[in-house]
Chains A and B, each alone.
Chain A
Amino acid sequence: MKLLIKLVLKDFKRNKAVTTALTVFLFLSALLMAGGLRVTGTIMSSLSSFNELAIPPEYLQMHKGEFDEEEFESFVKEHDYIEDSLAVRMLNIRNANIVYKGETLERCLMDNGFIVQNEGFDLLLNMDNEIAIVKDGEVGVPVYYAEELGIKKGDVITLHEGDYHKDLVVATLIRDASMNAALTSSKRFLVSSQDIKEISSHMGEWEYSLEFLLKDGASSATLERDYMEAEMPSNGVAVTGKLVSVMNNLSYGLVAAIIIAISILLIIIAVLCLSYIIRATMAEENFAVGEMKAIGFPKEEILRLYQMKYVMLSLLAGVFGFVACVPFGDFFASSVIMYCGHGTVEWMKWVYPMLGIVLLCLFVILGCRRIIKRNIKNTVVELMHGEENTKKEGHYTLPYALENRNLTVALGELKCKWKEYTVIFFVFVFSSFLILLPMNMKNTIENPSFISYMGVGESDIRIDIQYSDKLKEQKDAVMSYLKDDDEIKKYALYKTGYVQFENSNGQWEYIRVQSGDESVFPLEYLEGNEPYNMNEIALSYLEASESGKKVGDTMKVVYKGKELSFTVSGIYQDITYGGKTAKADTAFDDNDVEVYIVYLDVEEGVSIDKKTDELRKILQDSKITPVREFVSQTLGGIADNMTLVEGAAAAISLLLIMLITVMILKLITAREHSAIAVKKAIGFSSRDIRIQLGIRILVIQFAAIIAGTILANTLGETVFGLMLSSMGASKITMLVEPFWAYVISPAVQIVLVLITVTVGTKVVKNYHIRDQIME
């Protein structure tokens, strides 16, 4: 054993550059694998502990307007599958009336409500995951605002309405199991019962949050149906526990999924490099192996000797990868830790990455063993004869006159030796892919046209008129204003309500239906088209998938007790409301309309921000949001996390590119030692030879960047679609920022390789023909 270790250490010294590069490769693979699993473990632990402590409701129905408490209690009593219930009173305060550091929260998309701490379940927790308690004059602020606006403990939030002012000192940040995620459009502030009483007497509008916990085995779909059928208060959005967990998973889990995807890619790259390096190293060692076999060394001993190096490398990388994955994983899990706290199920954070490392090590060690085994199977004569030297690579023909000698020789040799460059080609492809995928994903998410995956066509501004007693009056006011505003190019009103439809199990379920002129802001349909006729309905992708409906199928719908038959006209993508929506020309009663949404485009040259401010001043009862803002705030957390992933992926990829270039150059120059010396002897300068090596690598890289870019735009779209399919968007068109994707990214990669080649080929100067001669 001692001898084996000695030999391995000697080998390390001899092949410093290659061994170091390989170790870094393996380390990065281990780090990402373990890091991704640590993020996963942390998210699982964090969410499970958080949900255990906060006990979010399994069904939540918002309601604005009158509320009969007795009716609610009797509904709960009548349905024995309901474990517990709450009727939470929430005081909605308009964002314009909430001031932080001299600025109102008007620019925030969120609806803000003030509540007192609940009893029993749906508890708001402080940053230590204890039930939050605030005294009079204090407020608990959603952690979302700590992230978005930087609000911290000790800051002051002012509520004002007319002459009334109320200063509230931030006593704690609040973790809210139901409304934590940026994807949830409401946020809850915690105040004392005394304060809420005082504030409500001066400002705000009461809203109820009717919440339910279900007994084991009961489904929220059943509750939803029974609730609607009993005509219980439902003037507001309904949220199921499943929807909350989808939003949480997307907010926190997407990053983990991307890191794991990157680590898998990196492991593939590492294994590719390993197999190449092992084969290259073993080719050089063939003579020594032959000698060992000739003097009777047992095969197993030779295997152990050569395998030892890779075992040691894997273990070293594994140990360092595991140690480094702690800060790495915690950094990428910082968002979930911030929103949900450190979980109590500690083992997940340690065992998952450990398992990942063990699997990686086994994978690498067994892979090496297989290659080495295959190599030493050759006979002594075959080994000592040197397969490398007799291997035919083919010819290239010199042109009649040699106009550009370096280019001709480099391309000719590349033609003959292309197999040697397969690994570096794939590494460059993957690296380019790794840089572009998160970049394109982020760009897609941040683009206003992402709204089309939210079930509506692209527009400039969105006006929400919702959950109010004066819904119709507000809508009329908005429409009459827009009609006369010549700075507005076009607008369309959509009303949203609920109808029942028969699902694939023959049960009646409620579905959110949007009705309006779909041709004003046309949406790209996955299949079919928008509903043109009264009896046509378009379904969201998830709704269509779950109900098993295709374009042309008929669908039974019940509205106001009347059964109607609709034909599915098209399927579109929508990630709002859990991805389950529909579009149909339904003549909703004004009383049944839950929300009116107006989308509008401003005339060219009109500033969207200025128009938004202007509309906010005039249409004070409505919520006005620029669509760009709407998209970025709804997916804000995801986009922020994507920025982190984008940065990390770019850094890792560039490091990979550099490492593989160093490694390949080292191996190629060693392998072509003799050819380099001959070239020098016949009149090529070291500079010529370095240029030739550079051309070969750059040609490969250029081809790889093209392949990587195509892959990122095709496979990347599929991967992104898969990630978002659970939310309701399956077919995403990746939006590319051409300057970054096609100019900056390739330029950075090429420049890096150029620098690496320049430094890495310096060794050529030291290659002499005399080294080929044995006196």
Chain B
Amino acid sequence: MIKVENLSKSFKNTEVLHDISFKINKGDFTAIMGPSGSGKSTLLYSISGMDGISDGRVLFEGTDISHMQEGELSLFRLNKMGFVFQNAQMLKNLSIFDNITLPGLVAKKESADKIRKRASELMKRMEIEGIENRDIREVSGGQLQRASICRAMINKPEILFLDEPTGALNSSATDQVLSILEDLNNEGMTIMTVTHDPRVASRAKKVLYIRDGQIAGCKEFSDDEGRERELDKWLRGFQFSA
């Protein structure tokens, strides 16, 4: 689905990502891990087209998105990708419900009726019905993060990008969000998340370990059993501490 070829990214004279290549298949659940400042979020934004790259290319279903015009890329993101951020970034002048429906109404792929209906269904599924008309400051962090997943899902994206989705959540909210992600992946949704939390990474089927702007390791997990332990062991090899 996504093919990253020799991706490099520099800020001024500092190279943050260096010659990275990997593939993501449809239905994958990939976690990107690494120490602080390793370039994991930069990699996520570079792959998703939210940030430009300095060298290499990113192919999304065969289309090179790394050289697309800004407008074209916006449209591409709107229709094919969903994003969830650490702090559940939402527009503060819209209610929770309007925040969720906005990308759908902007994309106009379906009728307003259908978009609103799906928004309600997503909220129900994420167990956040009843907060539709609330202000984003009037709900808990977990509710807000689940609402932002609803927003990311509103246009039925082909891939969901998440940047530290549980970074600002407490333990129970983290569990709720992780279950949802797992369910979505089981339904066929491709997911790619950046995390420093082994608990989150242990739900993924593939983990990329980034260090000093390069892929230091890649681990694929075949079954759920003992995944957490296996990951822990693998991470210890990189002297990783959460």
What are the residues of chain A within 8 A of B42 when measuring CB–CB? 770
What are the residues of chain A within 8 A of B87 when measuring CB–CB? 772
Among B95, B108, B164, contact of A395 (Cβ-Cβ < 8 Å): B95
Residue of B nearest to A689 (CB): B74
| Interface presence of B40 (CB below 8 A) | yes
In the complex, the number of residue pairs spanning A and B with C-beta atoms less than 8 Å apart equals 108
Among A417, A765, A773, contact of B85 (Cβ-Cβ < 8 Å): A773
Residue of A nearest to B76 (CB): A683
Residues of B86-115 whose CB lies within 8 A of A:
86-87, 89-95, 98, 101-103, 105-108, 111-112
Residue of A nearest to B138 (CB): A392
What are the residues of chain B within 8 A of A677 when measuring CB–CB? 89
What are the residues of chain B within 8 A of A775 when measuring CB–CB? 36-38, 40-41
Docked-complex contact A680 and B86, CB < 8 angstroms: no
- In angstroms, Cα B117 to Cα A400, docked, is 12
What are the residues of chain B within 8 A of A1 when measuring CB–CB? none
| Per-residue B-contact encoding for A687-722, CB less than 8 Å = 1, 0 else | 110000000000000000000000000000000000
Tell me the smallest distance from the CB of B159 to a CB of chain A, in Å: 14
Query: Quick one: which of A413, A687, A765, A769 has the most chain B CB within 10 A?
Result: A769
What are the residues of chain A within 8 A of B57 when measuring CB–CB? none
Docked-complex contact A416 and B74, CB < 8 angstroms: no
| Interface presence of B181 (CB below 8 A) | no
Among A390, A400, A679, A765, contact of B112 (Cβ-Cβ < 8 Å): A400
Known: A398-B102, A398-B105, A773-B41. A678 touches B91 (CB 8 A): yes
Docked-complex contact B45 and A683, CB < 8 angstroms: no
- In angstroms, Cα B104 to Cα A401, docked, is 10
- In angstroms, Cα B99 to Cα A683, docked, is 13
What are the residues of chain A within 8 A of B37 when measuring CB–CB? 775
What are the residues of chain B within 8 A of A684 when measuring CB–CB? 74, 106
| Interface presence of B71 (CB below 8 A) | yes
| Interface presence of A412 (CB below 8 A) | yes
Known: A395-B135, A768-B45, A770-B51. A685 touches B74 (CB 8 A): yes
| Interface presence of A394 (CB below 8 A) | yes
Among A396, A682, A768, contact of B93 (Cβ-Cβ < 8 Å): A396
Among B36, B83, B92, contact of A681 (Cβ-Cβ < 8 Å): B83
Known: A674-B89, A681-B85. A402 touches B50 (CB 8 A): no
Residues of A536-574 whose CB lies within 8 A of B:
none
Tell me the smallest distance from the CB of B161 to a CB of chain A, in Å: 9
Docked-complex contact A683 and B103, CB < 8 angstroms: yes
| Interface presence of A405 (CB below 8 A) | yes
Query: Quick one: which of B36, B83, B92, B151 has the most chain A CB within 10 A?
Result: B92
Known: A680-B74, A681-B85. A768 touches B106 (CB 8 A): no
- In angstroms, Cα B38 to Cα A397, docked, is 41
Known: A674-B89, A769-B85, A772-B87. A683 touches B78 (CB 8 A): yes
Docked-complex contact B93 and A417, CB < 8 angstroms: yes
- In angstroms, Cα B42 to Cα A402, docked, is 33
Among A402, A675, A768, contact of B91 (Cβ-Cβ < 8 Å): A675
What are the residues of chain A within 8 A of B91 when measuring CB–CB? 675, 678-679
Tell me the smallest distance from the CB of A766 to a CB of chain B, in Å: 11
Tell me the smallest distance from the CB of A178 to a CB of chain B, in Å: 69
| Per-residue B-contact encoding for A397-428, CB less than 8 Å = 1, 0 else | 11011100100000011001100000000000
- In angstroms, Cα B83 to Cα A440, docked, is 56
- In angstroms, Cα B41 to Cα A775, docked, is 7
What are the residues of chain A within 8 A of B79 when measuring CB–CB? 683
Residues of B103-160 whose CB lies within 8 A of A:
103, 105-108, 111-112, 116, 135, 137, 151, 155
| Interface presence of B70 (CB below 8 A) | yes
| Interface presence of B28 (CB below 8 A) | no
Residues of B10-44 whose CB lies within 8 A of A:
36-38, 40-42
What are the residues of chain B within 8 A of A412 when measuring CB–CB? 93-94
Tell me the smallest distance from the CB of A626 to a CB of chain B, in Å: 61
- In angstroms, Cα B102 to Cα A675, docked, is 13
Residue of B nearest to A765 (CB): B70
Known: A683-B77, A686-B70. A678 touches B90 (CB 8 A): yes
Residue of B nearest to A770 (CB): B45
What are the residues of chain B within 8 A of A772 when measuring CB–CB? 85, 87, 89
Docked-complex contact A396 and B94, CB < 8 angstroms: yes
Among B36, B106, B151, contact of A405 (Cβ-Cβ < 8 Å): B106
- In angstroms, Cα B116 to Cα A264, docked, is 54
| Interface presence of A393 (CB below 8 A) | yes
What are the residues of chain B within 8 A of A405 when measuring CB–CB? 105-106
Known: A401-B112, A680-B74. A769 touches B105 (CB 8 A): no
How many chain B residues sit at the interface, stated as a range, is: 35 or more
| Interface presence of B75 (CB below 8 A) | yes
What are the residues of chain B within 8 A of A396 when measuring CB–CB? 93-94
Residue of B nearest to A681 (CB): B83
What are the residues of chain B within 8 A of A394 when measuring CB–CB? 93
Among A400, A675, A683, contact of B106 (Cβ-Cβ < 8 Å): A683
| Per-residue A-contact encoding for B44-71, CB less than 8 Å = 1, 0 else | 0100001100000000000000000011
Docked-complex contact A769 and B50, CB < 8 angstroms: yes
| Per-residue B-contact encoding for A746-775, CB less than 8 Å = 1, 0 else | 000000000000000000010011101101
Tell me the smallest distance from the CB of B105 to a CB of chain A, in Å: 4
Known: A675-B91, A772-B89. A682 touches B135 (CB 8 A): no
Tell me the smallest distance from the CB of A339 to a CB of chain B, in Å: 60
Docked-complex contact B86 and A773, CB < 8 angstroms: yes
Tell me the smallest distance from the CB of B174 to a CB of chain A, in Å: 18
Among A397, A682, A770, contact of B78 (Cβ-Cβ < 8 Å): A682
- In angstroms, Cα B151 to Cα A405, docked, is 17
Query: Quick one: which of B74, B101, B103, B111 has the most chain A CB within 10 A?
Result: B74
Docked-complex contact B93 and A770, CB < 8 angstroms: no
What are the residues of chain B within 8 A of A682 when measuring CB–CB? 77-78, 83, 102-103, 106, 151
Tell me the smallest distance from the CB of B112 to a CB of chain A, in Å: 4
Docked-complex contact A678 and B95, CB < 8 angstroms: no
What are the residues of chain B within 8 A of A397 when measuring CB–CB? 95, 98
Docked-complex contact A680 and B50, CB < 8 angstroms: yes
Query: Quick one: which of B38, B71, B89, B155 has the most chain A CB within 10 A?
Result: B89
Residue of B nearest to A677 (CB): B89
What are the residues of chain A within 8 A of B71 when measuring CB–CB? 685-687
Among A390, A402, A413, A417, contact of B105 (Cβ-Cβ < 8 Å): A402
What are the residues of chain A within 8 A of B163 when measuring CB–CB? 773
What are the residues of chain B within 8 A of A392 when measuring CB–CB? 135, 137
- In angstroms, Cα B164 to Cα A674, docked, is 17
Known: A402-B106, A682-B78. A395 touches B93 (CB 8 A): yes
Among B45, B70, B135, B151, contact of A685 (Cβ-Cβ < 8 Å): B70
Known: A402-B105, A770-B51, A775-B41. A683 touches B89 (CB 8 A): no
Docked-complex contact B74 and A393, CB < 8 angstroms: no
Tell me the smallest distance from the CB of B103 to a CB of chain A, in Å: 5
- In angstroms, Cα B89 to Cα A768, docked, is 13
- In angstroms, Cα B74 to Cα A679, docked, is 10
| Per-residue B-contact encoding for A374-398, CB less than 8 Å = 1, 0 else | 0000000000000000101111111
What are the residues of chain A within 8 A of B78 when measuring CB–CB? 682-683
- In angstroms, Cα B164 to Cα A412, docked, is 30
Residue of A nearest to B90 (CB): A678
Closest A-B pairs by Cβ, 9 of them: A683-B78, A685-B74, A402-B105, A401-B112, A416-B93, A678-B89, A682-B103, A685-B71, A398-B98
Binding site for A on B (CB under 8 A): 36-38, 40-42, 45, 50-51, 70-71, 74-75, 77-79, 83, 85-87, 89-95, 98, 101-103, 105-108, 111-112, 116, 135, 137, 151, 155, 163-164
Further pairs besides A402-B102, A412-B93: 5, Cβ < 8 Å:
A401-B112, A683-B79, A683-B155, A685-B70, A770-B45
Binding site for B on A (CB under 8 A): 390, 392-398, 400-402, 405, 412-413, 416-417, 674-675, 677-688, 765, 768-770, 772-773, 775
10 residue pairs bridging A and B, Cβ less than 8 Å apart: A402-B102, A413-B93, A681-B85, A683-B74, A769-B89, A770-B45, A773-B41, A773-B85, A773-B86, A775-B41
